[in-house]
Amino acid sequence: MAVMGREWFADAVLYEIYPQSFADSDGDGVGDLQGVIARLDHIASLGVNVIWFNPCFASPFVDAGYDVADYLTIAPRYGTNEDMAELVAKAGERGIRVLLDLVAGHTSIEHEWFRRELAADGPDPAGDRYIWCEQLPEQVWQRETPGTPAWVPSPGPRPGFYLKNFYDQQPALNFGWVRRPGDPAWRQPADAPGPLRNRQALKDIIAFWLDRGVAGFRVDMAFSLVKDERVSEGLAATVALWREIREWLDDAYPDAVLIPEGSEPRTGGPAAFDADFFLVIHDEHGSLFDNHFPGVLPFHEAREPFFDAAGKGSTRVFLDGWDAARATDPARLIVMSTADHDYDRLCCGPRTAEQLGAALTFLFTWGNVPCLYYGDEIGMRFLPGLPNVEGSVCDPSYNRAGCRTPMQWDAGPNAGFSTADAARLYLPVDPSPDRPTVAAQEADPSSTLHFVRELIALRRATPALGTRTSTRVINEDYPFAYVRGESHLVVVNPRSEPADLAVAGVVGAPLLSSGVTAHAGGLSVAGFGHGIFNFEP
């Protein structure tokens, strides 16, 4: 029976594909949509039911596609709009929906909108789509990269400066400003003509792809649209913008989901987005998994991650963040990924494949909407020291390339990713002779790949392990243990040293486990052990 409205997302298991690196069908060294189509059976075999693509739109790829030149056209290196329609249809035949990445806050300098305004002598009579000022404001810095100037001198006939969001080649779209006393005229309110044009453009872009079968969007920088908003004020103007879009979607496309990059501010009204997203690089997720091996950003805190062999971490930052996110709505959905395109992988630095079972067990049974980053189903490794490709080095101490390497399919050339010469690959393949591959793990019943399939199948067969039941922590240290739906016990021990759990109520043999032994007083859990049990409180 079909799930009506957006309730289907509560049962989602996502699979994130970085399209450049998944599968290359035409031998040019870059992944493409036909490559994904050819690998849909593998994706379906995992048990996932949603694919989330990083941006696939036409772009000069200064920032790996997050600099969009045309929202309505698939980038030629990936294929065509018809290829995307074919992918959506063939994924749908396998019970898999498709989410696209919507870059809402900025475009590329190559977008037609920007070229038109750059060539102008002054403001567009219909309202500027970008934010311009004729004289440089005093000490205005970019919020996302402290110390980086936010304003770029106009390189065209139009005088003055434009506001950027990240790289110079990513001019900020004009959704208006929170007006304050004494503000200059160029800081337009959110209901000025330019901002209103861009609101309508967002609806037009969303509708274009929903009409072609896409199920929804993950929205990049979703809460940075209206400028000079303060977190202490709840980012209310941007939230109001997204509520307007949600009201339109509820009427025109009631099944479509919107997922933000990050957590939606709570302003007391209805939610505009269908979930929060605990990002890999932020504390809620990072306190559990970030060993800082790939790099350190200015906002990172030096702390030992909980899922680490040393066993010096804490779950408290995560638990506090989880409770805060659900304080006003205990049923609020929260997406948590194994990894993503912006930071590291579970198998990163000294963390080995042996340690993945505990981490994966937690991420697929905690009660979140889980997202599996491509390659994590086989324990692909983060590769340090890679070249700066398409903006992967966005801070001198922060290189994202290591999590974007080609998918490892088999033992053939380029790990089966591409028939191109190795020098033409988007990024190098893991050179290690013992690199994990899909083909090798298919033949090994004890592999990470088989474990991921079993874990997702168990989640699907056991409603208590999904998003609709309660989670009660019974031990927040090592081993971490919690009860789902008052019917199932999950225990994970991410450290190398064994740990004991005093607990009554374990019933029968484990449903899925490694290194866990039941005895009269509770459970003994080996280093890196994990288990899921029936439970009677």
CB 458 within 8 A of CB 512: yes
- Give dist(CA 209, CA 215) in Å, integer: 9
Helices 236-252 and 193-210, packing angle to 10 deg: 40
Looking up residue 497, the CATH number of its domain turns out to be 2.60.40.1180
Categorize the per-residue pLDDT at 138 as very low, low, confident or very high, splitting at 50, 70 and 90: low
Average per-residue pLDDT for the chain: 94
Mean pLDDT within 152-176 = 94
Answer whether residue 193 shows pLDDT above 90: yes
189: β partners: 177
**Residues 74 and 141 occupy one common structural domain:** no
The alpha helices in 393-517, defined as continuous H runs, are 438-442, 448-461
Q: Is 151 helix (H, G, I), strand (E, B) or coil?
A: strand
Answer whether residue 145 shows pLDDT above 50: no
pLDDT of residue 144: 46
Mean pLDDT within 172-177 = 96
Burial (0-12, 13-18, 19+ Cβ within 10 Å), 294 = buried
Categorize the per-residue pLDDT at 97 as very low, low, confident or very high, splitting at 50, 70 and 90: very high
Question: What would the pLDDT profile of 489-526 be if each residue is shown by its tens digit?
Answer: 999 999 999 999 999 999 999 999 999 999 999 999 99
Mean pLDDT within 165-194 = 94
Q: For the chain, what is the domain count?
A: 3
**At which residue do the structure tokens 């939230």 appear?**
239
417 in a domain, yes or no? yes
**Residues 49 and 26 occupy one common structural domain:** yes
Question: What would the pLDDT profile of 50-91 be if each residue is shown by its tens digit?
Answer: 999 999 999 999 999 999 999 999 999 999 999 999 999 999
The least confident of 290-304, 398-412, 461-475 is: 290-304
Q: Is 337 helix (H, G, I), strand (E, B) or coil?
A: strand
- What Rg, from alpha-carbon coordinates, does the chain have? 24
pLDDT of residue 439: 98
Answer whether residue 139 shows pLDDT above 60: no
Question: What would the pLDDT profile of 448-496 be if each residue is shown by its tens digit?
Answer: 999 999 999 999 999 999 999 999 999 999 999 999 999 999 999 999 9
**Residues 69 and 145 occupy one common structural domain:** no
**Residues 98 and 112 occupy one common structural domain:** no
247 in a domain, yes or no? no
**Residues 447 and 398 occupy one common structural domain:** yes
At 341, which amino acid appears? H
240: β partners: none
381 in a domain, yes or no? yes
Tokens of 62: 């200064």
Answer whether residue 288 shows pLDDT above 50: yes
210 in a domain, yes or no? no
> Among 179, 182, 181, 201, which residue's Cα sits nearest to residue 190?
179
**Residues 398 and 494 occupy one common structural domain:** no
pLDDT of residue 146: 41
**Residues 38 and 132 occupy one common structural domain:** no
Categorize the per-residue pLDDT at 187 as very low, low, confident or very high, splitting at 50, 70 and 90: very high
151 in a domain, yes or no? yes
Answer whether residue 151 shows pLDDT above 60: yes
Looking up residue 396, the CATH number of its domain turns out to be 3.20.20.80
Answer whether residue 149 shows pLDDT above 80: no
Mean pLDDT within 165-169 = 93
Looking up residue 121, the CATH number of its domain turns out to be 3.90.400.10
**Residues 293 and 430 occupy one common structural domain:** yes
**Residues 344 and 475 occupy one common structural domain:** no
CB 528 within 8 A of CB 480: no
- Residues belonging to the chain: 537
Q: Which of 153, 172, 191 is the last residue of a domain?
A: 172
343 in a domain, yes or no? yes
Sign of the CA dihedral with 467 first, then 473, 477, and 481 last:
negative
> What's 253's DSSP letter?
-
Give Cβ neighbours of residue 194 (< 8 Å, ≥ 6 apart). 124, 126, 127, 128, 129, 174, 176, 188
Categorize the per-residue pLDDT at 148 as very low, low, confident or very high, splitting at 50, 70 and 90: low
**Residues 451 and 355 occupy one common structural domain:** yes
- Give dist(CA 275, CA 135) in Å, integer: 40
Question: What would the pLDDT profile of 375-393 be if each residue is shown by its tens digit?
Answer: 999 999 999 999 999 999 9
pLDDT of residue 141: 52
**Residues 455 and 320 occupy one common structural domain:** yes
Question: What would the pLDDT profile of 416-434 be if each residue is shown by its tens digit?
Answer: 999 999 999 999 999 999 9
Q: Which of 437, 459, 481 is the last residue of a domain?
A: 459
pTM of the predicted structure, to 2 decimals: 0.96
Q: Which of 172, 199, 220 is the last residue of a domain?
A: 172
Range of the domain at 281: 7-103+275-459
Sign of the CA dihedral with 251 first, then 252, 255, and 259 last:
negative
Question: What would the pLDDT profile of 278-287 be if each residue is shown by its tens digit?
Answer: 999 889 999 9
Answer whether residue 3 shows pLDDT above 80: no
> Among 179, 162, 180, which residue's Cα sits nearest to residue 171?
162
229 in a domain, yes or no? no
**Residues 510 and 372 occupy one common structural domain:** no
Element (H, E) at 319: helix 316-325
pLDDT of residue 309: 97
Answer whether residue 234 shows pLDDT above 90: no
206 in a domain, yes or no? no
Question: What would the pLDDT profile of 23-54 be if each residue is shown by its tens digit?
Answer: 999 999 999 999 999 999 999 999 999 999 99
Cα 67 off chain centre by: 17
pLDDT of residue 15: 98
